[in-house]
Structure 1
Amino acid sequence: MNFKLMKQKDFSLLILGKLVSLVGSNMQQFALSLYVLEITGSATIFASILSVSILPRLLLSPIAGVFGDWFNRKKTIVLLDFINGIILGIFALIYITSGSLTVFLICILVILLEITEIFFNSAMSAVLPSLVKKDQLMEANSLNSLVMNIGNVLSPIIAAILYDGLGIKAILILSSISFVLSAISELFIKIPNTHKKPEKISIKAFKTDLMEGIDIIRSNRLISTMIGLGTIINFSIGPLFGIGLIYISKEVLKVSDMQFGFYQMVLSASMLLAPLICGGIIKKIKIGRLTHISFTVIAVLIFVMSILPSSIFLRSFNSNMVSYIGLLIISFIVGLVVTVANIALGTLFNQVVPLELMGRTSTVYNLAVTVFIPVGQMIFGILYDIINPSVVIIISGFILMIAIALYKKTLLSYDERELESEFEA
């Protein structure tokens, strides 16, 4: 991977700011889960809080998408990071003065942070593609993926250490500081003005611009393809890693806590290393073909994975260690390819969607893929309880293969259009 982009001040400040706020956000989410379990002893209560937090996303995503395209993106992301810092600071003060946070207050905190995140992501969606040239988008998304995955790996470790030693108060304070630092770094970024604010803000103007965003999704087959793929991935493949492999590891293979922890570490490492290991390959393959190949490889690996927990395979060996090692190897490769697929999908999205419509389009994309996460978890969670896990994994693979077959032509035709435009130029 080429790190030349990190020498560009605006790009490096953006990535640094995103990393700092990501670590702060992940730390407070991780610590809040531990805190709720500590004061209530109920995982159901925390799950309920997270479920409630999806309501703002359902209600506000269309509004946030339009506003993200209307207003100055730099001012918006700086302001929202400062607001997050203030919110967390206020709740830290509440904790200091009262000695605790009630479940109701935690629910309010989660909802407030969810609201700011929706508007922040809408404004942020066009920032990275506006800072780099079109032929640098793949490199930029790879670097972004690498740095964000570093944050995802480090933040729960840091949070666990701090929570164990200093408690929730320290996490709230540090998270507040992280958002303020992120806002300060963003003040120095020169972000091109790609927003398009109407002369007069009104309900009519809002409706017109909202429909413009929906129309581009309907009319552009490639954008609807990306939304479809993202939704299917979260619906069928998300539950495999979020529920299925945990269930298989603990209930079928009966691995120890240490072995399961090592499995989680291997999976995290694969996502972290993907941009470094696959960087050269990513550059050599056209973006549409890369996306298609990535999802095809994932589907094939899932079919191979389905063999490991089957009774026939398990009876062929004296212990479950062969299945466990096989799970480690395949999961590592899947982690690599999934990360590559996400980079390819993100780059494709940045290339196709006009910057002035990025907020509206990205919020629709995020809403679609987010809504289907709990739906998939619920359906596949039930399936893992009532039928053979190997069969459930095969179902996940078949759903992905059907999606690949449906969207193959659209993905590959994008490369052909790109070649034609390059030839004309």
Structure 2
Amino acid sequence: MITEQTQLDAFVEHARAHKVLAIDTEFMREKTYWPKLCLIQLATPERAVAVDPLRLHDLSALNVLFQDENILKLFHASRQDLEIINIEMGCLPAPIFDTQIAAALLGHTTQIGYGPLVMNELGVHLKKADSYTDWSRRPLTKSQLQYALDDVIYLPKLYDSMSRKLKKLNRMDWLASDFRDLSDPSNYEKPPEERFLHLKRVNQLNQQQLACARNVAAWRERKAMKRNIPRKWVLTDEQLVEICKREPQSIDELFMVRGVDRILKLDDAREVLRECQAAYREDPETWPELPRPAKSERNVDAQVDLMTALVRLRARENNVAFQVLVSHDELVHIARGHYERCDVLKGWRKRMVGDELLKLVNGELALRIEDGNLKVTRRSRSSSRKPKGPDA
């Protein structure tokens, strides 16, 4: 357990001599907007430590490790860890290897947990007795500390095992772009003005009400940040959407929504009303729209069913989880000719099945059943349409 600056400096010097560094965090955020960092676990192949940010307030020495391009940073399910490191330390570790993401290319289920992956790859059973711990309490017990350190102790061994298998399959470089994206700060920047898109039941609102929801949700986000409390403690999603539905013109109308008079102080209620009224005064041309397919677009169920069959075939042949290759929404987009945001048409996914999906929807490929198995055949030029796609 590292609680002093000299200990941290010594570990940093130790870690700089190694090519990999395993990283994990423990944090609490049930009662706050910003996650409260309670522990940082770090491990090289030789040594594992837990850094106590509740005792050691200057963590800047770790920036040297996190931003060293010669040290590969190992995580499992890294997004939340990276988010809190970015908040607390103002940097994003790079380069990265995420064992959960890589596991999907070795036949494991998508979003496999750390414990099952360690068991499957290394044959080690991890105890889960301290999985629901209040990490802000001190002192930590020996059992809690061991549980926390187990989350990094096996990452270097996992990396060795998985990288060998990926290299044997010539897949080691496939995930380079995925890992680079994890270190992109724009993935962790969420403008308050876009928060309304994630409201529960937001699709029940018309365009003017959406403008109101955009304003009020942004106001709520800033209040929650400033007070460092969960956004639902300012207003719940349900209350916010109901307020916008009612299009209130007065405090009394605002307070007609169940529970709002108890959760909002009068000054806050006035601010919410001003946000609503500002939306009503906006030019309708500026009102937001939810991203949804136009009603006039054709039904593509048949095309999606055929593409699904092709993806399942290639996923099974390559021992890759279907969901890692493509989502249902992406198949719908491809069937309708919208290619811009389809990951399956990029990188290794494109090589494995994306190119074939384009050929299938453009009539260049045919699917048939032979001896109970699905077969893919190329159609003759005379019976196929001119190829289309993002590179055509």
Tell me the TM-score normalized by structure 2. 0.32
Say which structure is richer in strand. 2
Say which structure is richer in helix. 1
Larger Rg: 2
- Point out which structure has higher relative CO (alpha carbons under 8 A, 6+ apart): 1
